[in-house]
Amino acid sequence: MTRDDLFQKNASIVRDLITGVAKWCPDAFVLVISNPVNSTVPIAAEVLKAHNVFDPARLFGVTSLDVVRASTFTAELTGENDPRNISIPVVGGHSGDTIVPLLSQASPSVSIPDDKYNSLVNRIQFGGDEVVRAKDGAGSATLSMAFAGFRFAESIIKAVHGEKGIVEPTFVYLPGVPGGDHISKAIGGLEYFAIPVELGPSGVVKAINVLGGITDKEKELLAAAQVGLKKNIDQGIEFAKASSAKL
């Protein structure tokens, strides 16, 4: 299915589920993993706003899979045996060219040959297509998505119980979280964006700006991502507003 196909299937499902959240458990942490996340998170936010229970610190788009793929594919290329030893920030969104791996910000630093860079970025961005091809069209990346959801949920639970220093990438409403406004201004005013955030007992403690010092190639990727993200975000908001009578 294309992202547009997924939107047609999932937009109304997310709208209805979040309506239930707004009515019956408005203080819940909401982790949206239904694609296209770039659009379904704005739908969720608009539904929560319509019920006057929107807390940006408690609404998350799960993008953990993107950083897992970035670490895994980079480890394969560099010869690192354990991908967990490499941390690579991935920002932007959660589909295709809205996914921006910041390889220059890897910890520890990695050296990617120029002739391998584009193919590595493409693999990180379109890893889901690779899984679909491997399954010969009979399925998608269900196992890795399950892992991503588990990883993020576990991080939230740890943070709620007081564990410090929990940082996860997530697609959030930037104007509503500490540190988000500064990041939003740096990316052309986009309100929703995937960025590492520190988690605490009440949700987002702060958004962490990892955009400083990125390379020219990464700036190009980010510029392309902004265009796609705006369309995705607007699509979600427009759907939610058109559905307002059903909320």
Domain boundaries, the chain: 3-62+232-246, 64-229
**According to the model, what pLDDT value does residue 246 have?**
55
DSSP 3-67: HHHHHHHHHHHHHHHHHHHHHH-TTS-EEE-SS-HHHHHHHHHHHHHHTT---GGGEEEE-HHHH
The model's pLDDT over 70-104, given as tens digits with 9 standing for 90+, comes to 999 999 999 999 999 999 999 999 999 999 999 99
Whole-number pLDDT of residue 139: 73
The residue written with tokens 């510029």 in the block is 223
Task: Please state the pTM of the whole predicted model.
Answer: 0.93
Q: Tell which CATH classification among 3.50.50.60, 3.40.50.300, 3.90.110.10, 3.40.30.10 matches the domain 64-229.
A: 3.90.110.10
- Residue 207 near residue 181, CB atoms below 8 Å: no
CA atoms of 140 and 144, how far apart (whole Å): 9
Residues annotated as catalytic are 94
